[in-house]
Chains A and B, each alone.
Chain A
Amino acid sequence: MDDTPVLDTLDRAIINTLQHGLPICPRPYRQVAEQLGIDEATLLQRLVSLMDAGMLTRFGPLFQIEKMGGRFCLAAMSVPEEQFEDVARLVNAFPEVAHNYQRQHQLNMWFVVACPDPQAIQTTLERIETATGLAVLAMPKEKEFFVNLYLPA
Chain B
Amino acid sequence: MDEIDYRLVQLTQSGLPLVSQPFAALALQLGLTEQQVIDRMMAMQQHGLIRRIAAVPNHYRLGYRHNGMTVWDVDDSQIDVLGQQIGALSFVSHCYQRPRHLPAWPYNLFAMVHGKTREETTQQIAVIRTVLGDACRGSDTLYSTRILKKTGLRLPE
Contacts and interface: CB of A to CB of B under 8 A. Distances in A.
Interface of A: 3-5, 14-15, 18-22, 24-30, 40, 44, 47-48, 50-51, 53-65, 67-69, 74, 88, 91-92, 95-107, 109-111, 114, 116, 137-151, 153
Interface core residue of B22, B42, B60, B64 (most chain A CB under 10 Å):
B22
Given A21-B53, A59-B18, A141 B105 contact: no
Contacts of B52: 20-22, 61-62
Q: Is the interface of B mostly helix, strand, loop or mixed?
A: mixed
B146 to A, nearest CB: 4
B99 A142 contact: yes
Contact of A150 (B93, B101, B152): B93
A97 B151 CA distance: 8
Given A5-B63, A102-B145, A114-B154, A140 B114 contact: no
Interface of B: 1, 9, 12-16, 18-24, 34, 38, 41-42, 44-45, 47-64, 69, 79-80, 83-84, 86-88, 92-99, 101, 104-105, 110, 112, 114, 140, 142-156
B99 A62 contact: no
Contact of A143 (B14, B93, B97, B151): B97
